[in-house]
Amino acid sequence: MCVNSLQSCIQFTTSTITLQNRWDHFLARWSFNRSGHRVEPGLYALGSPQEDSPVFVTANYTLSFDALRSALGEIDSYIMVLDTKGINVWCAAGKGTFGTDELVHRIENTHLHNVVSHRVLVLPQLGAPGVVAHEVKNRSGFTIEYGPVRAADLPEYLKTRQATPEMRKVKFTLWDRLTLIPVELVHVLLPLVAIAVALFFIGGFLTSLAAVAAILAGVVVFPLLLPWLPTHDFSAKGFILGGLIALPFAVITFLHNPDAALWQLVSRIVTYLLALPPVTAFVALNFTGSTTFTSRSGVRREIFTYVPFMALLFGAGIILAIALPLIQLLGG
Amino acid sequence: MFNSYLSNTLTYNPDLCIGCGMCSTVCPHAVFEQDDRVARLVRPEACMECGACQLNCPTDAITVDSGVGCAAAMIRAALRGRKETTCNTESGSPCCSADK
C-alpha cells in the first residue's frame, strides 16, 4: 500500500513479527531460496511519523528489515530501505551495495527532503565499510549518524544518541556461531553424501564413516568449539580437532583387527591420522569467511602457511591407503 | 606461534587527525580510542581490515587494504588467476552466511 506525499511513495510497516516472518527467517537460516528474502526498497512509515521523526536506514534483506522494525517498537519513525539485493547490511557494505551511491540515490528517489524537516539519517554501524559519511553529506545534505551495531540496542541508544562502547563492538557468541551452522551444513550435504557412498564401496563402512566424521567435525563441531580450541589459526585449530576425531577411528581399527599383521595395523592407523585431520583443518579454514573478526591479511597468511601442508598430509594418506591393499594383493 | 593475525595492513597518521571521532565510532573491534583531541591506535592487532575507518576518515589519516577475510574467496581467486572474488550469492553459494 502506498500513500502519496509530495511525490513520495511511502509504504506502511509495523513492528510486529508474525509467524510468517519467523518462518521466513527460519528458511533464510537454512539457506532456502537464499537471495529471495527481500523487501521492496524505498521509504516505510512505522507508526505515525511526522516531519521531525527520525529516519533509519537498512538493507532490503528481510532479517535486517525485521530486526530494525521490531526493535523500534512504538517509536514513530521512517525506515529507508536500500536495494542491497537481499543481502544483510554488513556483507552488503563490504560489497558496496549498502553504499554511498545507493544511499544518495535512495534519498533522491524517495524525495526524503520533502518528507522530513531535519537532515539526519541514522545508519547501522556496520554500514560504515560501504558508506563515506562526509560524501553523503556533501551530495545530499543529510548528516550520517552511525547508530549501534545491533538494532536491539536502538531504544537505549535513542535516549541519549550516544552509544556505549559495548554497543559499538561486534561479538561472535555461541549463538551467533550456532545460527551459521545450518547454512554451512546445507551446502556441504550433497558432496558429503556422495563422498560417503563412494568411500563405502571403495573402503567399507569405517572408512566412509571416518570421512563423514572429519567433514562434519569441521562444519558443525568446529564453529561451536571455536574459541576453546587452542591457537589462533583456524587451520591449526582444525588440525587439533581433526586429530581428535581421527583417534577413535585409529583405536577401532586397532581393536577390530586382532589377527592382522602389525605393519598392516600401523599402516591403517597412520592413514587415518594422515588423511583425516587435513580435511577438518581445510573445512575449518573455510569458516574464516563466516566470522566477524578474521582479517584478509591473516587469512591469506593462513592459506600460504597451511594449505600446502594439508595437501601434503592428505596426499600421503591417500597414497598409503591405495598402496596398502596393493601390497597385500601382490602377496605381502 | 600459530597466529597468522598478529600483523595487518592498517596504518594511521596522527598528524592528519582532526579529532572527528569517526574511526572510533565505526570500528567494530575498538581498534581506535579518542584521546583528548586526536585518535589513538590502541588495538591494531584486533583490526579485521573491513575498511570502515579508512572510508569515513575525512582527512585520509588511515589506510588499510580492506577486503573480506574469507579463505574460500581467496582460494577461488587464486585458482582462477583473478585478483579477487566477491561474495557471490546469486548462485546460492555459501558466502555471506553471516546475518547481522
DSSP B10-75: -EE-GGG-----HHHHH-TT--EEEETTEEEE--GGG-----HHHHH-TT--EE-------HHHHH
pLDDT value of residue A6: 55
Give φ, ψ of A303 to 5 degrees: -60, -50
- What pLDDT shows up at residue B33? 96
pLDDT confidence band for B99 (50 / 70 / 90): very low
Give pLDDT, residue B100: 30
Count chain A–chain B contacts defined by CB atoms under 8 A: 173
pLDDT of residue B85: 56
Helices A296-329 and A262-285, interaxial angle, to 10°? 160
pLDDT at A65: 98
Residue of B28, B86, B98 lying closest to A95 (CB–CB): B86
Closest Cα in chain B, distance from residue A318 (Å): 22
B100–A126 CB contact, under 8 Å? yes
A292 contact residues in B (CB cutoff 8 A)? 28, 48, 98, 100
User: Over 80: is that where the pLDDT of B95 sits?
Assistant: no
Q: In this structure, are residues A281 and A222 in contact, taking their beta carbons and an 8 Å threshold?
A: no
Q: pLDDT tens across A158-213, in order?
A: 999 999 999 999 999 999 999 999 999 999 999 999 999 999 998 889 999 999 99
A3 Cα to chain B: minimum distance (Å): 30
User: What is the b/e burial string over A13-25, where b = at least 16 CB atoms within 10 angstroms of the residue's CB?
Assistant: bebeeeeebeebb
Q: In B, which residues are within 8 Å of A90 by CB distance? A: 98, 100
The predicted model scores a pTM of: 0.91
Per-residue pLDDT, B74: 86
- The closest of B39, B31, B37, B47 to B13, measured between CA atoms, is B39
Q: Which residues of A touch B30 (CB under 8 A)?
A: 165, 168-169
Q: Which residues of A touch B67 (CB under 8 A)?
A: 94, 296
Beta strands in chain A (DSSP E): 2-5, 8-13, 42-46, 55-59, 77-82, 120-123, 143-146
Mean residue pLDDT of chain A comes to 93
Are the Cβ atoms of A296 and B56 closer than 8 angstroms?
no
- Candidates A114, A92, A112, A116; CA nearest to A104 is A112
Q: Which residues pair with A55 in a beta bridge?
A: A78
Q: Which residues contact A126 (CB under 8 A, 6 or more apart)?
A: A89, A90, A93, A149, A170, B28, B100
* Position B78 confidence tier, pLDDT thresholds 50, 70, 90: confident
Beta carbons of A232 and B30 less than 8 Å apart: no
Which pLDDT score, from 0 to 100, does residue B45 have? Answer: 95
pLDDT at A267: 85
Please say whether the beta carbons of A179 and A28 come within 8 A.
no
Give the chain B residue whose CA is nearest to the CA of A302.
B4
pLDDT attached to residue B83: 63
For position B19, what pLDDT does the model report?
Answer: 95
Which of A26, A232, A299 has the highest number of chain B CBs within 10 A, making it the mutation to test binding with B? Answer: A299
Chain B CB contacts of A289 below 8 Å: 68-73, 87, 95
How many Cβ atoms sit within 10 Å of the Cβ of residue A304? Answer: 11
Nearest-CA distance from A307 to chain B in Å? Answer: 10
SS (H, E, C) A38-98: ECCCEEEEECCCCCCCCEEEEECEHHHHHHHHHHHCCCCEEEEEECCCCCCHHHHHHHCCC
**Is the Cβ pair B30, A169 closer than 8 Å?**
yes
Burial class (CB in 10 A: 0-12, 13-18, 19+), B63: middle
Of A59, A40, A55, the closest CA to residue A127 belongs to A59
Cβ atoms within 10 A of the Cβ of A141, count? 11
- CA angle, A268 then A270 then A271, to 5°: 65
Cβ of A169 within 8 Å of Cβ of B28? The answer is yes
C-alpha grid cell, residue B51: 575498511
Mean pLDDT per segment of 10 residues, for chain A of length 332 residues? 64 96 95 92 96 97 97 97 96 94 96 96 98 97 98 97 97 96 94 95 91 97 97 97 94 80 84 95 95 94 96 95 82 62
In the structure, what pLDDT confidence band is assigned to residue B72 with cuts at 50, 70 and 90? Answer: confident
**Interchain CB distance below 8 Å, A295 and B8:** yes
- List the single residue in B with minimal CA-CA distance to A178: B98
Of B65, B68, B74, the CB nearest to A94: B68
Grid cell for residue A133: 559519511
User: For residue B91, what pLDDT band results from cuts at 50, 70 and 90?
Assistant: very low
Q: Which pairs count as long-range contacts for A141-147, CB under 8 Å and 24+ apart, including other chains?
A: A141/A113, A142/A107, A142/A112, A143/A119, A145/A120, A145/A121, A146/A122, A146/B25, A146/B26, A147/A56, A147/A122, A147/A123
Please report residues of B whose CB lies closer than 8 A to that of A149.
Answer: 28, 100
What is the chain A residue with the closest CA to B3? A232
Indicate the helix (H) or strand (E) that contains A196.
Answer: helix A174-203
Q: Report the DSSP beta bridge partners of residue A82.
A: A59
Integer CA distances (angstroms), A50 to A3, A77, A157, A293, in order: 14, 8, 20, 40
CB–CB of A34 and B48 under 8 A?
A: no
CB half-sphere exposure, A33, CA atoms < 13 A = 10
Q: Which residues of A touch B52 (CB under 8 A)?
A: 93, 128-129
B29-47 pLDDT per residue, tens:
999 999 888 999 999 999 9
